């Protein structure tokens, strides 16, 4: 799984002109899945994200986690995180998981965030055309990829 985390003052997502998810201070997370991702990757990503120290303490240092500051999280599924642009001018999305695989994994990721202690998790609508509003704070943008942590192919 891949995620782009953006520390925000606020974020929202709309579908057909209607706000379907909104948060205050916290993280907007764009998340994508690939073919061999499993619930273990969703759980590892949620654990890493909830505990990543990217919020400022009283001294202005990034020393606090989303859990420490009571951050809210807006999760947006985004298959384009697995775009392959190495050849030609049109990206290939063959590395992105098909919707029937990706949607349950995104849902599992949301539940895993809640299990980690993130009390407010909002989402977009899987597969919909969404308008995402991100008020990036800092800006702070972090990329996480479960393939980078050595657990990619290990489900347990």
The one catalytic residue in 33, 79, 123, 146 is: 79
Question: Has 114 been annotated as catalytic?
Answer: no
Q: Is 76 within the bounds of a domain?
A: yes
pLDDT at res. 61: 96
pLDDT at res. 148: 80
Token digits of residue 9 = 């003052």
Residue 155 has pLDDT above 50, yes or no: no
Residue 156 has pLDDT above 50, yes or no: no
Residue 152 has pLDDT above 90, yes or no: no
Q: Is 153 within the bounds of a domain?
A: no
pLDDT at res. 11: 98
Q: In the chain, how many domains are there?
A: 1
The one catalytic residue in 34, 78, 123, 146 is: 78
At 6-38, the pLDDT tens digits run 999 999 999 999 999 999 999 999 999 999 999
Q: Is 63 within the bounds of a domain?
A: yes
CB-based contacts of 150, cutoff 8 Å, min separation 6: none
> Do the beta carbons of residue 8 and residue 141 sit within 8 Å?
no
Burial class (CB in 10 A: 0-12, 13-18, 19+), 78: buried
> Do the beta carbons of residue 99 and residue 126 sit within 8 Å?
yes
**CATH code for the domain of 101:** 3.50.80.10
Q: Is 152 within the bounds of a domain?
A: no
Residue 32 burial (CB count, 10 A): 25
For every residue of the chain, DSSP letters joined together read -EEEEEEEEEEEEEETTEEEEEESSEEEEEEE-BTT--HHHHHHHHHHHHH---EE-TTS-EEE-HHHHT-EEEEEE-GGGG-B-SSSSS-B-TTBPPHHHHHHHHHHHHHHHHHHT---EEE--TTS--EEEEEEEEEEEEEEEGGGGT-TT---
Question: Has 95 been annotated as catalytic?
Answer: no
Burial class (CB in 10 A: 0-12, 13-18, 19+), 56: middle
At 39-92, the pLDDT tens digits run 999 999 999 999 999 999 999 999 999 999 999 999 999 999 999 999 999 999
Confidence of residue 150 (pLDDT cuts 50, 70, 90): low
Structural domain range at position 113? 2-146
pLDDT at res. 154: 42
Question: Beta 62-64 vs 2-15: how paired, if at all?
Answer: unpaired
Q: Is 155 within the bounds of a domain?
A: no
Question: Has 78 been annotated as catalytic?
Answer: yes
Q: Is 36 within the bounds of a domain?
A: yes
Q: Is 116 within the bounds of a domain?
A: yes
pLDDT at res. 153: 42
Average of pLDDT values for 113-140?
A: 97
Q: Is 156 within the bounds of a domain?
A: no
Q: How far is CA 124 from the centre of its chain?
A: 11
């Amino acid at each position: 799984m891949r995620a782009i985390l953006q520390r925000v003052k606020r974020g929202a997502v709309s579908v057909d002109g209607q706000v379907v998810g909104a948060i205050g201070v916290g993280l907007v997370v764009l998340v994508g899945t690939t073919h061999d991702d499993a619930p273990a990757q969703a759980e590892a990503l949620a654990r890493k994200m909830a505990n990543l120290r990217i919020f400022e303490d009283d001294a202005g240092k990034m020393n606090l986690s989303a859990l420490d500051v009571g951050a809210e999280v807006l999760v947006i599924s985004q298959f384009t995180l697995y775009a392959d642009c190495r050849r030609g001018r049109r990206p290939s999305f063959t590395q992105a998981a098909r919707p029937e695989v990706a949607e349950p994994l995104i849902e599992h990721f949301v539940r895993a965030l809640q299990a980690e202690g993130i009390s407010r998790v909002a989402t977009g609508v899987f597969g919909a055309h969404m308008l995402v509003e991100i008020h990036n704070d800092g800006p702070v943008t972090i990329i996480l990829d479960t393939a980078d942590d050595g657990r990619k192919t290990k489900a347990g």
